[in-house]
Structure 1
């Protein structure tokens, strides 16, 4: 068995301090453009939907406005559906899938449910194709009181007045080969822990909430996505990314305990999607379409089971 090379920043067994975070930050470069890729699409959607600026990341020398898209026919007596993407900025289909859903499918829910879509929660990380924000903090472990991540805190403020009215929240993510080659090794180094290699699942899967499992809901989403792309299989240990597979394509995480985005409301139906864009069996377009199919299936199920 080959021993993984040490991560190039920090010392084995010692958590990072300010110097290591600064060294890590110096290696991050802008590789794509949030304004061109995301804000321009939101601007076009503004003709059909309401758009709200719910925060602004102050990451000197840059600032990033945070936008959410809302149903134009918002009615207080209707339940709400929340869709979030780009919590991990490098997970491209989460951003593109959220925007594609709004463009192609949101109108069919008019008068049935209020839609709130935050398509790119972490624009700094989106531009740098990274999991963390500029402080080496993972936003998707930071949805909690006194959050250390501006991205997480801003989204929680937006959603707070609606937490009891949200009936479904679907958070769009990806699992990529770089999780194993870069992001998990970086996480281990940052926290002063030994990196233990894992296995990247080939295909789509869902993460259900340990504290509020909804197996019928999860399987409805899996069934819809299976028409678009393949579903990840359990590994030889019966697991996906180290967690037991509880149903085809489904594992459990404790959302609120881990500070995950999917735990920020009191919605009865919640899930986190995971698409595998590096698969030889799927295209980028399929990954986007899988996210869209998951969103539609999640909202349809929630509305049918109110």
Structure 2
């Protein structure tokens, strides 16, 4: 259990006043335009780029982009990659961009690639899990979503849903989950916070409705060539959830409103890198994310479906 959060009264859910207090405490720490849009602009030379929405927060506009295979072929399945659903999870954003830049042309021979690299640009700039309205986009993929980030992505992806074969959603589990984001969540909701054990290493979250154990195993094996896989804790769990196999736990992504449940893709996985590991570097986390996507697509290429 952590110390009480700095905003609000213990046991009392936040009102508009506390939420505004939280928002006023946030600040811009990096540039979506310089770090993300600049790379998307470069990718226009090789790939198709579509704007699927715009967010208007505090009189600032954040345009949202999808990157697609240049020669879209309706006879090929769609492979979807999403990053930055939680804007603070850096390697998810840059892993998606690095994958499409370095390997997009190769995998476009087998798939129609569809990459949404940064669903939450405000969260990217302020290094936040929530959007400005204290809403977690990765718990908001459902009908009439209160999170614009989630709703705009879902609306855009709906046109492709029947052809999406796999969806890899790139995330991180960080030490700030325990020091900041889980305490803030408990304070917002007026409940007692219980921190979880942060896994030291890379792991995956499969979907309980379509776990695809061999698919998850193939991803883990590819990532293990790049970086270490998180061992289970002394209770055989990762983040409080029993492991299904080495480096893999399962959530009901649809019931929980997670991004990995936004489509009907039969093969889905949420990655979780650990940037705060003593042996991690920012580039190693990015490389792990890229390896996860490659592991997923290589499995689907080799496996009769």
**What TM-score do you get using the length of structure 2 for normalisation?**
0.98
How much does 1:15 deviate? Answer: 1.0
**SS of alignment partner, residue 225 of structure 2:** coil
How much does 1:301 deviate? Answer: 1.4
How much does 1:300 deviate? Answer: 1.7
- Report 1:47-126 matches (<5 A): 47-126=45-124
Give yes or no for the alignment of 1:184 onto 2:188: no
How much does 1:149 deviate? Answer: 0.3
Give yes or no for the alignment of 1:42 onto 2:45: no
**SS of alignment partner, residue 163 of structure 1:** helix
State the superposition RMSD in angstroms: 0.9
**SS of alignment partner, residue 162 of structure 2:** coil
Which residue, 192, 209, 212 being the options, matches 1:211?
209
Give yes or no for the alignment of 1:250 onto 2:248: yes
- The total of aligned residue pairs comes to 304
CA distance in 1, matches of 2:259, 2:195: 25
Q: 2:134 — aligned with what? A: 136
- Structure 2 segments unaligned to the other structure (5+ residues): none
**SS of alignment partner, residue 278 of structure 2:** coil
Q: 1:169 — aligned with what? A: 167
Q: 1:295 — aligned with what? A: 293
**SS of alignment partner, residue 157 of structure 1:** helix
How much does 1:282 deviate? Answer: 1.6
Q: 2:218 — aligned with what? A: 220
How much does 1:265 deviate? Answer: 1.0
**SS of alignment partner, residue 206 of structure 1:** strand
Which residue, 24, 29, 32 being the options, matches 2:27?
29
How much does 1:190 deviate? Answer: 0.6
How much does 1:299 deviate? Answer: 1.4
How much does 1:163 deviate? Answer: 1.0
CA distance in 1, matches of 2:285, 2:176: 16
Output one character per residue of 1:177-202: Cα deviation in whole Å (capped at 9) or x when no partner: 00000000001111110011221110
Whether contact under 8 Å (1:269, 1:302) holds in the other structure is no
CA distance in 2, matches of 1:14, 1:301: 48
Whether contact under 8 Å (1:52, 1:69) holds in the other structure is yes
CA distance in 2, matches of 1:46, 1:67: 11
- Report 1:3-14 matches (<5 A): 4-14=2-12
How much does 1:69 deviate? Answer: 0.2
**SS of alignment partner, residue 254 of structure 2:** helix
**What TM-score do you get using the length of structure 1 for normalisation?**
0.98
**SS of alignment partner, residue 68 of structure 1:** strand
CA distance in 1, matches of 2:67, 2:302: 23
CA distance in 1, matches of 2:213, 2:2: 37
Q: 1:268 — aligned with what? A: 266
Give yes or no for the alignment of 1:146 onto 2:148: no
Output one character per residue of 1:259-305: Cα deviation in whole Å (capped at 9) or x when no partner: 00001111111000000000011211110000000001111212333
How much does 1:78 deviate? Answer: 1.2
CA distance in 2, matches of 1:197, 1:97: 27
